[in-house]
Amino acid sequence: MAIVDVRLPPTFTDEGLQAALSARRRTPGLPVLVLSQHVEQLYARELLEHEVPALMAEGCSDTAIGARLFIGQGAAGKHTASILGKLGLGLSDDTNRRVLAVLAYLNGSTGS
């Protein structure tokens, strides 16, 4: 488990967040507890924007994503919807948005 503060020396900007992301890249699924006295949704989104597409790529449903990330199904669904929105993947009868989002993730173009 990694426990970090978002803002660490030397610049006290987002070094802790960057350290957590780096640790997760080296150890996928590493539990991370991020502490901060500065409330920034972007910090939480940054950690979840990489996890959710990765779990979608594994074929996980919103329920399974929520269980794996220890968040509710509704929160997982909101993250999924946000990803689909950022990719401009609207409702369609002839395409599967989750598959298109996974392809974008695998090609490194999720913008997260």
- The model's pLDDT over 62-79, given as tens digits with 9 standing for 90+, comes to 999 989 887 889 988 988
Q: What CATH code is assigned to 40-112?
A: 1.10.10
Residues of the chain with CATH 1.10.10: 40-112
pLDDT digits (tens, 9 = 90+) for 22-35: 888 888 778 877 77
Q: Which helix (H) or strand (E) holds 34?
A: strand 32-35
Distance (Å) of CA 48 to CA 10, 56, 77, 86, 92: 25, 12, 12, 14, 26
- Percent helix, strand, coil in the chain, to 5, is 55, 5, 40
pLDDT of residue 112: 47
Cα(69)–Cα(78) distance, rounded to whole angstroms?
A: 13
pTM passes above 0.75 = no
Of 4 and 84, the one with more pLDDT: 84
